Every structure is written in structure tokens, then in C-alpha cells.
């Protein structure tokens, strides 16, 4: 299975398709790690067992590696020289080590590495794979760092950049708000408290008036010894607070936890908006987002809605059973998805055998042509059930979405046109009367 850094559906490619480099002298450990990474992530993997081999493979393909997993101690590199080699060549590096103490930690953390993982327990391999996944997914996460003190801001930004996050900097609260407006893909804001124009509390309040915590996380930071500052940030709407000076591991974990929360919320929202059988958007999503889409294109000539119904679906269910009926629904959904994907049109399953498409900015004549192509595609699709080949047809009703009318009224008009298509013999497209 392949890992994806963005929405995390395994069917989609990750942003960086370069190779993963494993530097490990234990053949057993390297083999097991290679197998897990191949299963979970699916990127090409290159292994080497010494600093000398590492030199060779990187010299041959200096730009080939998107991330490296490097053992701290190798026979020909006992003091972390392999880590220095990958870091100096700009390869993001995760360290693993069989022994660990404060001195070892210092040796690792003084280098610009993403993370370190101990391999002295049964969960080491899984932890290491998770660290690689996180580093790849971090590249899709944009973070805004807000601090009027340049040195402090640059230091924090660098720490986050090492973690592979995409970082933007702001020197004031006012600049931060402007950057948020210009970059709606920002997902985490890390803000200092003491700033001359807008303090961290007020900036957090202003952000919360614009964006909810399910879309953007706010983390307060401060070097003050006043323990009330953290409470002030949280009461203003922040999701977390970190005290300076930063413990790198704590900073890493808190940022990662907030990033994970955003991903989980996005996944829940995605599940709530999808039809369980076909994977298309569901009725709720369509009714929540359809009116918004129409409003965004009011300057264009018009928008149109098409309601589609599978002909004789009840008879098909009664004859072949609900399992075959479900397969027919999936077949029709695939035809619709293939035609609509990438067009900007909104496709959903309303329920039962009924589907709907909103064509924002498309006039009725164009929507009729589009719908008739859909009708033909569906009529040519077949489902093999044992020795029998099943084919279906669909009737479609099309109606113009008048911005002055309610969304419900538009759908009722499309329903009436659908009824007319059924009455006229099915397997046809009808336009609602003006």
C-alpha cells in the first residue's frame, strides 16, 4: 500500500517521489525496515551498510534522496559521521540508535536532524516508519511563525523547517493577519505573546473570528515566567502553549499533535460528507455547498442542476437482489465520477438510485449536452453477473438554478423534469420549463 502525504488516501501519489535512503550495518534490521517502508510508503528504497557505501550512492545520484534513515554508529563512522554526511548534503535525516543517554542525545540534537528513534524495543521499526511518514506529511503543512524579535523568530522557523514544515514568517500581528488572508492554506500559527502592535491574545482572538479550530490551530509561545500567559492564550482561543526556551522534542511533539488533530478532523469531515457505498458526496454535503457554489458564479450567465435516476431500479433489485443493486449503483457512480471529475461541477448521491449534479456557471443548453453524454455513457456500461450481462439506463431532469429562487425550488424543478423524462419513456434528458 502507498502512503500519501496530503489527504492521505493511499491511491494518490505523495508530493516528493524521491528515494528513501537507509544507512544500517545490521542486515536483519535493514531488511525488516526496508520491507515495512515499502509496504507503508511505497517509495523506492536504497540501502547501504557503511559510510563508504553512503558516499558512493549519494555521489552517484546526489539529488535522488528525499529522506534518509541513518544509524548513529557504523563500523567506519562510530561518531555520527554518516549523519553529518547526509545533513550536509541537504538530505532530511532521521537517526536511529541502539543505545541512548544524555550524551548521545546531545550528539544527535546538535545536528539538524528531523528526529531520533531508539531501536532497543519491540516497537522500534513501527516508530521509525511512523517518523518517516510524519516527515513526508509535514511537507504539506504550512506554518506561520509570528514574532517581532527577528532572532527568536528565525530560530523557531529553522527548527520547524528542519521538521520539513513549510514555514512563513511574520514580524507583527498585523503582518500575520495579512499573510493569513493571502495564504489560506496556512494550517498552524505559532505566535509570541509580546508584540508591539497586537499581542498574542488579541491576534488569537482576531484569527478565531476568521477561522475555526477545525481548519487552523493556534499555538502560543512566550519566554515569560508568568504562568498566567498560557491560560490567557487558551482562553483567547489558542489550542496549545509552549514555553521558551524550547525543548526540541517537546516542540516537535506539540506541533505534530496539532497537525494530527487537523488531519483527523479533516478525515472525519470527509467521512461525514461522503456516501458510504459510492464514495460520492452525500445529500448533506450537496445541500450545504450547492448554494455557496451558485453564489460564487453569479456573474456568469447561469448555473444548472441535473437530477439523475436509474431506470427500473426497483425491478432490478427485486430480480437480482440488493447486492447486485449495490453493484449497479457503484457502476453508475463510477460513470458519473469519470465524467465530472476535474470539471468543477458538484456531484452527489441524493439517496436510493438518485444522483444530482450542480453545474456552476453552465447554461441549460450546455448542461443538457453534458447530461446526454452521461446518459449514453451509463447505457453503454455493463455489469457481469455470472453468465448474465446486466446493463442499465438513466433518466435525467435539468433545471436552471435562478439565484433569485431558493435552492430547493431549483431541485424541485429538476425533479419535475426528471418525472417528465420518465413519463416520455425513460433513458432521456428533459429540461424544466422556464
Query: For the segment 14-33, what is each residue's pLDDT rounded down to a tens digit?
Result: 456 689 999 999 999 999 99
Q: Is 6 inside a domain boundary?
A: no
**Cell numbers placing 415:** 425533479
Query: How does DSSP classify residue 171?
Result: S
Cell of 96: 536511529
Contacts of 61 (CB under 8 A, 6+ apart): 19
Read off the DSSP letter of residue 74: B
**Which one, of 152, 200, 158, lies nearest residue 176 by Cα?**
200
Domain boundary among 217, 247, 271: 271
Q: What is the CATH number of the domain that holds 315?
A: 3.30.70.270
In CATH, what number is assigned to the domain containing residue 189?
A: 3.40.50.2300
Q: What is the mean pLDDT of the chain?
A: 91
Give the whole-number percent of the chain exceeding pLDDT 70: 95
Q: What is the pLDDT of residue 149?
A: 96
Shared domain for 313 and 295, answered yes or no, is: yes
The pTM assigned to this predicted structure is 0.76
User: How wide is the angle at C-alpha 92 spanned by C-alphas 131 and 53, nearest 5°?
Assistant: 105
- Contact (CB, 8 A) for 65 and 89: no
Q: Is residue 12 part of a domain?
A: no
* Residues 246 and 159: beta-carbon distance below 8 Å: yes
Is residue 181 in some structural domain?
yes
Kindly state whether residues 170 and 93 are assigned to the same domain: no
Query: 292 in a domain, yes or no?
Result: yes
Domain that holds residue 354: 281-431
- Burial (0-12, 13-18, 19+ Cβ within 10 Å), 324: middle
Domain final residue pick, 114, 137, 160: 137
- Taking residues 279-295, report their average pLDDT: 91
79-96: per-residue pLDDT in tens? 899 999 999 999 999 999
Q: Average pLDDT of 158-178?
A: 96
**Helix/strand/coil (H, E, C) string of 325-386?**
HHHHHHHHHHHHHHHHCCCCCEEEEEECCEEEEEECCCCHHHHHHHHHHHHHHHHHCEEEEC
* Residue 326 in domain: yes
**Is residue 11 situated within a structural domain?**
no
Which residues on neighbouring strands pair with residue 118, listed in sequence order? 97
Got the DSSP string for 194-240? --SSS-HHHHHHHHHHHS-TTT-EEEEEE----THHHHHHHHHT-SE
> Does residue 298 have a pLDDT over 70?
no
Confidence of residue 402 (pLDDT cuts 50, 70, 90): confident
Grid coordinates belonging to 245:
526556551
Residue 14 confidence (pLDDT): 47
Mean pLDDT confidence for 270-296: 91
Say if residue 423 is in the same domain as residue 392.
Answer: yes
pLDDT band at 183 (very low <50, low <70, confident <90, very high): very high
Q: Are residues 167 and 308 in the same domain?
A: no
Our count of domains for the chain comes to 3
> Do 212 and 243 belong together in one domain?
yes
**Chosen domain end from 102, 137, 172:** 137
- % of the chain surpassing 90 pLDDT: 80
**Res 237 pLDDT > 80:** yes
Q: Report CA-CA distances (Å) from 190 to 90, 214, 335, 401.
A: 25, 16, 45, 43
The DSSP H or E segment spanning 6 is none
The answer to whether residues 323 and 398 belong to one domain is yes
9 inside domain: no
CB 70 within 8 A of CB 33: no
CA quadruple 381, 384, 387, 391: dihedral positive or negative? negative
The answer, yes or no, to whether residue 294 has pLDDT greater than 60, is: yes
DSSP 177-198: HHHHHH-TTEEEEEEES--SSS
Average pLDDT for 408-423: 94
Looking at the fold, whether 307 and 336 belong to one and the same domain comes out as: yes
pLDDT range class, residue 2, cuts 50, 70, 90: very low
Compare 18 and 335 and report the one with higher pLDDT. 335
pLDDT in tens, 192-222: 999 989 999 999 999 999 999 999 999 999 9
The reported pLDDT for the residue numbered 16 is 60
Query: Are residues 39 and 31 in contact, defined by beta-carbon separation less than 8 angstroms?
Result: no
| Mean pLDDT computed over 152-179 | 96
Residues 220 and 291 grouped into a single domain: no
Q: What confidence score (pLDDT) does residue 6 get?
A: 32
Query: Is residue 334 domain-shared with residue 393, that is, in the same domain?
Result: yes
Tell whether 304 and 417 lie within a shared domain: yes
Convert the pLDDT of each residue in 106-146 to its tens digit: 888 888 999 999 987 888 999 999 999 999 999 999 999 99
Question: How far is residue 394 from each of residues 227, 277, 307, 364, 387, measured CA to CA in Å?
Answer: 66, 19, 10, 19, 24
pLDDT surpasses 50 at 229: yes
> Does position 337 have pLDDT exceeding 60, yes or no?
yes
- Predicted confidence (pLDDT) at residue 301 exceeds the cutoff of 70: no
Residue 313 in any domain: the answer is: yes
Pair (54, 119) in one structural domain: yes
| Cα–Cα distance for residue pair 68/351, rounded to 1 Å | 48
Domain identity same for 364 and 238: no
Radius of gyration (C-alpha) of the chain in whole angstroms: 28
User: Has residue 404 got a pLDDT over 90?
Assistant: no
Which grid cell is 281? 458526496
SS3 246: coil
Amino acid at each position: 500500500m502507498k502512503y500519501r502525504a496530503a489527504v492521505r488516501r493511499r491511491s494518490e501519489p505523495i508530493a516528493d517521489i524521491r528515494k528513501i535512503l537507509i544507512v544500517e550495518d545490521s542486515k536483519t534490521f535493514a531488511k525488516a525496515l526496508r520491507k515495512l517502508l515499502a509496504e507503508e510508503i511505497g517509495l523506492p528504497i536504497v540501502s547501504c551498510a557503511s559510510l563508504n557505501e553512503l558516499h558512493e550512492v549519494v555521489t552517484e545520484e546526489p539529488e535522488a534522496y528525499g529522506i534518509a534513515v541513518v544509524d548513529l554508529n557504523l563500523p567506519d563512522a562510530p561518531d555520527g559521521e554518516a549523519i553529518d554526511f547526509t545533513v550536509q548534503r541537504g538530505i532530511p535525516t532521521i537517526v536511529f540508535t541502539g543505545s541512548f543517554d544524555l550524551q548521545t542525545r546531545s550528539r544527535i540534537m546538535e545536528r539538524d536532524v528531523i528526529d531520533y528513534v531508539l531501536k532497543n524495543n519491540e516497537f522500534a521499526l513501527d516508530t521509525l516508519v511512523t517518523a518517516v511518514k510524519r516527515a513526508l506529511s509535514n511537507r504539506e503543512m504550512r506554518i506561520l511563525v509570528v514574532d517581532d524579535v527577528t532572532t527568536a523568530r528565525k530560530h523557531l522557523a529553522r527548527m520547524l523547517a528542519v521538521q520539513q514544515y513549510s514555514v512563513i514568517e511574520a514580524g507583527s500581528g498585523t503582518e500575520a493577519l495579512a499573510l493569513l488572508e493571502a495564504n489560506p492554506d496556512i494550517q498552524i500559527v505559532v505566535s509570541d505573546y509580546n508584540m508591539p502592535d497586537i499581542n498574542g491574545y488579541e491576534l488569537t482572538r482576531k484569527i478565531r473570528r476568521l477561522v475555526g479550530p477545525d481548519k487552523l490551530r493556534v499555538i502560543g509561545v512566550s519566554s515569560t515566567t508568568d504562568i498566567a500567559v498560557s491560560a490567557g492564550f487558551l482562553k483567547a482561543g489558542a489550542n496549545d502553549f509552549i514555553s521558551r526556551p524550547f525543548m526540541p522534542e517537546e516542540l516537535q511533539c506539540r506541533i505534530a499533535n496539532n497537525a494530527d488533530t487537523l488531519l483527523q478532523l479533516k478525515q472525519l469531515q470527509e467521512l461525514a460528507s461522503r456516501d458510504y457505498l459510492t464514495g460520492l458526496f452525500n445529500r448533506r454535503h450537496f445541500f450545504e455547498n450547492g448554494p455557496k457554489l451558485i453564489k460564487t458564479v453569479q456573474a456568469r450567465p447561469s448555473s444548472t442542476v441535473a437530477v439523475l435516476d436509474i431506470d427500473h431500479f426497483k425491478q432490478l433489485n427485486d430480480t437480482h437482489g440488493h447486492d447486485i443493486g449495490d453493484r449497479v449503483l457503484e457502476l453508475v457512480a463510477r460513470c458519473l465520477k469519470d465524467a465530472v471529475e476535474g470539471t468543477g461541477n458538484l456531484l452527489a448521491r441524493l439517496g436510493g438510485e438518485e444522483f444530482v449534479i450542480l453545474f456552476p456557471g453552465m447554461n441549460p443548453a450546455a448542461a443538457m449536452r453534458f447530461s446526454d453524454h452521461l446518459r449514453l455513457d451509463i447505457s453503454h456500461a455493463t455489469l457481469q453477473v455470472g453468465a448474465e450481462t446486466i446493463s442499465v439506463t438513466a433518466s435525467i431532469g435539468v433545471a436552471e438554478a435562478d439565484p433569485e429562487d431558493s435552492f430547493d425550488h431549483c431541485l424541485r424543478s429538476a425533479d419535475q423534469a426528471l418525472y417528465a423524462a420518465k413519463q416520455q419513456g425513460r433513458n432521456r434528458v428533459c429540461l424544466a420549463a422556464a
